[in-house]
A and B are shown apart, each in its own frame.
Chain A
Amino acid sequence: MANLSDKTCVRIGLMCSTTGSYQSIGQGMLCGALLAIERVARDPRFTFCFEPEVVNPGGDLNQYYAQTQALLDSGIRHVVGCYTSSSRKEVLPLFERRDGLLWYPSHYEGFECSDNVIYVGASPNQHIVPLISYLMNIVGKRAYCVGSNYVWPWESNRVMREILEANGGDVVCERYLPIGSTDVEQIIDEVRRLKPDFVFSSLIGESGQAFVAAYGKAVNDQRIPGSTPLASCTLSEEELKAVDASVRAGHICSSVYFQSIGTPANAEFVRDIKQRYGVEQVTSADAEASFIAVLLLAEAIHLADTDDVQQVRSAAVRCRLNAPQGPVWIDPENHHCYLTPRLGISNASGDFEILASAKEPRKPDPYLTWLDMGKVGDGAVMEDHGDRLKPELRIVR
């Protein structure tokens, strides 16, 4: 058993945008990763500890590229970071060329599978598909889509449109705002005029916060009916914290993690985050994914007995973690994670009450290969593939 002072240091990169248009998410991710690094240092099973090299690209794609290059140049092999798909795609060629490993701790739109990335966040079958299934069955089939103008919303809205149309629904309108734009009143006006069954938002960062605030106010003012929910795969506790309590409630989110999950591992995670960073600090899906990413990396290095990328990659798929959200492990077929989809509805205190939850972790399907779009509406979407994909969500309240 190694004492902390005897432990070998393994340098890793933490690349989180703690400033810029999605800084609140970046700060949460950094908190999650640093907490996991402390856990690794304290854990007597590990003969090493992590020495983090923390960089802040500030949401600037050029900085992501330059900082990744600098990290890899300095001999670092493993980096936990990136939030937007644009940033991941910007740095991916560097990781492939230098054979580094990016531990990507965010949900994303799928349609990628690099050997130089471990995808710790949710795949599209683990977030957007359960969300659409729920909305079609409970709310309606006419969607208004609004998103930030980049690849994640473009692709999310394509999936939304194709699934709805395959089930007799439609997208009444699709709008995009520049990343960071808070000019959302025009969107509220259009929603009011078009009267969709629900609004699907893939706005991120400050845009997402501004839209939640404006939407909540429009509902409070009865300009938009309360029966027209705002649905999202991106809304998190960090964003809810940033808006007034009067506009927080009633928004639906699909995510593999909510702060309110009642597992002992999550109670410990939330407690530790608040002890370490203050009671105001909240946990979110991206913070948990960053926490998981560091712990999976530690388990893989422990198993491989080296931080060599090839050996760590091979070992990682044999690791299993009891994460705050529940069991998590990496699918050797595609390097994405088995995760547990959930649906939550926000409340005034800035938490999510869980509406529905998958019974067990669901196999990642980054290319939606095993999805039958026409069956999403009948709730049987995941049941036709035997062992490949796990059963559909069950209603728990």
Chain B
Amino acid sequence: MDWTLLLIQMLNGLQLGVLLFLLASGLTLVFGIMDFVNLAHGSFYMVGAFVCASLTFFTGNFLIGVILAIPVVALVGVITEKIVVQQLYARDHLDHVLATFGLILCFDTLVHMIWGAQGIAVPLPKWLDGQVELFGGIVFPTFRLLIIGTGLTIAFGLYYLVNHTRLGMLIRAGASNRTMVSALGVDIQLLFSLVFALGAVLAGLAGMLISPITEASIGMGNEIIITAFVVIIVGGIGSMKGAFIAAMIIGLIDTLGRSFLDDMFKVFMSAPAAETSAPAVSAMLIYILMAAILAVRPQGLFPPKVR
């Protein structure tokens, strides 16, 4: 066993997990508190990436691009909530799914009209584009390290927000019993708008962070949103802690599966057979995990206390 490689792959898995957490935290908030299924959550991921890409080219610096893009995505989130989502709270889940699926198509087409089909490659400043040497001779890309750092900081911030502030108390109360919260005189409409915008910003930030690695492209959110749903189902819908732990587990399983499954398969089958079957199986791993957890704990690993 190559321990250096294993450590690098764990860091890669952590980085994927952090990105998934940024997406899933917003999704789980919106789903858990408002009982609203938002398939279009991934669209904020895409919008974040495109806005940030444009601002990066405009200002010439990726970090300034990110900072300026955050309020823009928040605004897009608020507008979406006001115009479309608000009309849907009273409807059932099927209507949510239909309407937000329509939103995905609208966002994809809108982005196509504004930025074109080709996607944008986002440049990084020189000091972020290289690698750093960590302990024990492990060389890791600086930017991926920055993603891990940012993600963990935000996770801690969210933990503090949810558990130690008045807003967090309302969010938790809303997740447990929102009728009671509004009966107690809390402006639930405002709370919903805030939570929705927060979710949009977190998703947008994830999109901004991934764009220098892959690129800003149409439909990028639709690819990752499925995995984000797996995360919140495994973690327990509405639970921030669950989303964090599940995101880390899924990030690690996906990355380690891609890295080591073919070697494991080669132990008991021929090399060509292993090379063909390993990618198929590793793509399924997270769904197998989800199925297993649903069978044992249908409510997820860490469901909110009262529903």
Do A and B pair up? The answer is: no
Q: Which residues of A pack against B, CB within 8 Å?
A: none
